[in-house]
Chains A and B, each alone.
Chain A
Amino acid sequence: MPLKRRSAQWPWQGLLVVILLGLAVGLWIATKQVNYEWRWERVPQYFAYQDEVAQVAPFAGRVVKIDADGAYSQVHMLPSAGGSPVLITVETDTLKIADGAQVAEDAEIGATRHWRVGPLTEGLWVTIWLSFASGFIGLIIGLIAGLCRISKNPALRGLAVLYIELIRGTPLLVQIFIFYFFIGTVLNLDRTIAGIGALSLFVGAYTAEIIRAGIQSIPKGQTEAARSLGMSVAETMIHIVLPQAFKRVLPPLAGQFISLIKDSSLVSVIAITDLTKSGREIITSSFATFEIWFTVALLYLLVTSVLSQLLFWLERRFARSD
């Protein structure tokens, strides 16, 4: 075999860097043109923020002592009506009263701070669990529909074909509207349930086709060997065909699931507060339109690429018996 000539890579890598830099500069100039003021510092608070809770005097009385212990201060109050002193803890920098002051009932003494989950984190969480729930249900639907699709029974097969064609032939957005406004109204469904239902049916149809192809890709000899050992149709499926088919359909199935995470952004149209809807809501109050959309895109990208990596790892583990 002749030695493969290694052509130099670095000029092309250099060109790549130049192109990327050019794009970045172009973007920067473009935003300058529209006089956009970037306010990236506004973004983090939408992931998590510190909430201040005001601490008020439970009764009228006098502050007898303040123990400043670093970040926190212990305020000792003696009720005017008599009784033993009461301890109130607040953040030192929020302290509103001095030692020895007289305070009325419900007067603000200071505040305590608590970390709260911001709307972006909440939206991300909704997107993730919505996708996992729909993905799981969709997988079951797809498995059943896929098996029906290759069944010998014409009624089952016809139903499966009808379902798959209907779903694959219409836009997801329209399906979500139909599911929410028609089925949701008839069955009186919660919007979240309607959203999961629409997504599950959608992903189920594609999964069914993937599973059908996977099952049919297993050589007939496998089924024949299993059947001639006395296994029933179901036993053959469970022990022989599906495990092998699963290994083959794992990559397209995972691809479908990654698509689902992105497609799930469409449920924001029926007012489910997923990542996309959260982003839209934040923009109305923050005016950081570009930053938020970029952040939202980055979050989707983060989830999908973590899943891609996971899939890569799984595939390598499954390749053991080949």
Chain B
Amino acid sequence: MIEVKHLIKVFEGRGQVVRAVDDVSTQIAKGEVVVVIGPSGSGKSTFLRCLNGLEEFDDGQVVIDGIDIAGSATNLNAVRREVGMVFQHFNLFPHKTVLENVTLAQRVVRKREAVEATDKAMALLTKVGIAEKTNEYPSRLSGGQQQRVAIARALAMDPKVMLFDEPTSALDPEMVGEVLDVMKQLASEGMTMAVVTHEMGFAREVAQRVLFMDAGKVLEDAPPAKFFTAPKEPRAQMFLKQVL
């Protein structure tokens, strides 16, 4: 579903050159859940953002469902429709109600009729457990509720892949569970997912593979059972010691 070949992203600024993603190659199969972990600043977010072209990469190739996203003939907007993204800070549209947040892109991008978009939105909001808040504005919702709306908003586009960038990091501890539950359900339904997270429990339970990143490189790529019990890399061992 996703193929990444020799991906390189360099940030240059104020005399500093940061190789945020440094020659990463990997692939994610259809229905697979891959968790990306690593210390702060290791390039996890940048890697994820390269997958839907939010970040323009410098070299390498990202192929999603057979389409090279940096190809000269590629319509990036058309690719992004198929790739949902959930952000650390939710990024809901504050001037739209919950329902409008979920219907807007359906109407504008997918050109769905109002009735169809609303039905779809209601079904998804029910699924993530906030059907009763449809007419509220996002600012009136708790963090956990907002993040679930954000997931519903991404799902409304019927994406083939979902990218999550630390979806629970900005949440109060008691709200982490409700968001992870939604993600687990999604995984069990066969959604292809790439998840950057510090929730090791989620990685252990749901992921098929764990990628460990440090300094822009993927140092380990292993099933969670193997990664959490017997990491090969010393830096991965150090990292696990700190977080577990």
Contact = CB atoms under 8 A, between A and B. Distances in A.
Interface in A237-259: 239-240, 243-244, 247
Nearest to B93: A240
B85 interface: yes
A321 B89 CA distance: 18
Given A224-B87, A230-B80, A244-B95, A322 B139 contact: yes
Contacts of A230: 77-78, 80-81, 105, 109, 157
Contact of A239 (B77, B81, B84, B108): B108
Nearest to B78: A230
Contacts of A239: 104, 108
Interface string A124-156: 000000000000000000000000000000000
Given A230-B78, A230-B109, A247 B95 contact: yes
Contacts of A235: 108-109
Given A221-B89, A235-B109, A239-B104, A228 B54 contact: yes
A227 to B, nearest CB: 7
A225 B26 CA distance: 25
B52 interface: yes
A222 interface: yes
A224 B80 contact: no
Contact of B77 (A225, A232, A320): A232
A240 B96 CA distance: 9
A321 B87 contact: no
Contacts, number: 66
Contacts of A222: 91, 93
Contacts of B52: 228
Interface centre among B77, B96, B139 (most CB of A within 10 A): B77
Interface in B68-108: 77-78, 80-81, 83-85, 87, 89, 91-96, 104-105, 108
Contact of B137 (A227, A231, A321): A321
B148 interface: no
Contacts of B153: 229
Given A225-B87, A321-B137, A231 B108 contact: yes
Interface size class of B (residues with CB under 8 A): 20 to 34
B119 to A, nearest CB: 18
Nearest to B83: A228
B92 to A, nearest CB: 8
B87 A229 contact: no
A224 B94 contact: no
B37 interface: no
Interface string B153-169: 11001000000000000
A321 B93 CA distance: 10
Contacts of A240: 93
B114 to A, nearest CB: 15
Nearest to B96: A321
Contacts of B95: 243-244, 247, 321
Nearest to A222: B91
B169 to A, nearest CB: 14
A229 B91 contact: no
Contacts of A247: 95
Contacts of B77: 227, 230-232
A143 B231 CA distance: 56
A243 B93 CA distance: 10
A320 B139 CA distance: 11
A66 B87 CA distance: 90
Interface in A209-225: 219, 221-222, 224-225
Contacts of B108: 231, 235, 239
7 contacts: A221-B91, A224-B87, A225-B91, A226-B93, A239-B104, A239-B108, A240-B93
Interface of A: 219, 221-222, 224-232, 235, 239-240, 243-244, 247, 320-322
Interface of B: 52, 54, 77-78, 80-81, 83-85, 87, 89, 91-96, 104-105, 108-109, 137, 139, 150, 153-154, 157
Given A228-B83, A321-B96, 17 more contacts: A221-B89, A225-B85, A225-B87, A225-B91, A225-B93, A227-B77, A228-B52, A228-B54, A229-B84, A229-B153, A230-B77, A230-B78, A230-B109, A231-B77, A231-B105, A232-B77, A322-B139
**Which 10 A-B residue pairs are closest in the complex by CB-CB distance?**
A230-B81, A225-B91, A229-B105, A221-B91, A228-B85, A230-B109, A321-B137, A230-B80, A230-B77, A244-B95
